[in-house]
Amino acid sequence: MTPDEEKEFIRRRKQRNLVIGLLLAGFVILFYAITIVRMGD
């Protein structure tokens, strides 16, 4: 792997990690909200 390829590899991995992290955080908030709403039923 050339230095340029390695740089691109790290950039893509970083972006994917960021997107997955944001999605997981979103689901944590969503499940929290669903729980609160369901407890009020």
Partner 1 sequence: MTSTLAPTATPLPAEWRDFFALTKPRVMSLVVFTGLCGLLAAPGSIHPVLGFTAILCIAMGAGGAAALNQWWEADIDAKMKRTAKRPLPAGRLRRQDARDFGMLMSGASVFIMLVAIHWLAALVLAFSIVYYAVIYTMWLKPRTPQNIVIGGGAGAFPPLIGWIAVTGEITAMPVLLFAIIFIWTPPHFWALALFVKTDYADAGIPMMPVVAGEKSTRYQVLAYSVLLLGVALLPWIIGGTDLIYGIAALALSALFVALAVPVGLRTSQPEDNMKPEKRLFGYSVIYLFALFTALVADRMVLS
Give the residues lining the site for partner 1 (CB under 8 A): 5, 8-9, 12-13, 15-16, 19, 30, 33-34, 37-38
In the bound state with partner 1, the residue whose beta carbon lies nearer, of 8 and 25, is 8
Q: Cβ of residue 23: shortest distance to partner 1, in angstroms?
A: 10
Q: Cβ of residue 8: shortest distance to partner 1, in angstroms?
A: 6
**Is the separation of the CB atoms in 28 and 36 below 8 Å?**
no
Report the distance separating Cα 23 and Cα 16, nearest Å: 11
Three-state DSSP state, 38:
helix
